[in-house]
Amino acid sequence: MKIFLPKIILTPLTLLFSFLLLTSCTQLFSIVPSGNTNEDIKFEFYKNDNHDELIELKVESVILETKRFRRWRKIWSISANEEPTYLENIKYGETPTGMVEIMKPKNLYVRESYRVSISGMASSGAIFYSVEVFIINEDGRVIKIKNGQAFVN
């Protein structure tokens, strides 16, 4: 017995199934930006917001943006080449093995807001995606912004 569904019902069902499948395979991780402009600024990957367990990710893409005139503008971007490498952190401006630079890094300035977005895959096959916002204070240190409040790492 075949069941035929009108296209008006089938399309929303297909979209709903795709969404449920994607969200069930997606996990969040925590990015911890640290460092200062006089040395390296790096982004470490943690399994949760407690920052008690570093994780390795098969990083697919990294995008760093700055907020100017109420709009986020891309200032650095790298992406996986053919086979990305498992990483626990990424340093700003460096292109790890297995990745290609899409946009060269621009200078970072004090009292500016930045947003880093990182996506990838865990060894379990789960898809990861996380976004973190931070500023650079007057002495060049990275200050993480969470729920509108600044935290020093």
pLDDT at 10 over 50: no
Beta-bridge partners for 8: none
Q: Distance between CA atoms of 85 and 128, rounded to whole angstroms? A: 15
pLDDT at 147: 53
Question: For residue 125, what is the DSSP state?
Answer: S
CATH 3.40.50: does it fit domain 28-152? no
Tokens of 52: 């008690």
pTM: 0.76
Other Cβ atoms closer than 10 A to 64: 24
Q: Residue 127: which of 31, 43, 28 has the closest Cα?
A: 28
Phi–psi pair at 17, nearest 5 degrees: -60, -45
Q: Distance between CA atoms of 119 and 117, rounded to whole angstroms? A: 7
Q: Residue 104: which of 80, 73, 76 has the closest Cα?
A: 76
Average confidence (pLDDT) over 30-39: 90
- Looking up tokens 């600044």 gives 150
Q: Residues 102-151: pLDDT tens digits?
A: 999 999 999 999 999 998 887 777 788 889 999 999 999 999 887 544 44
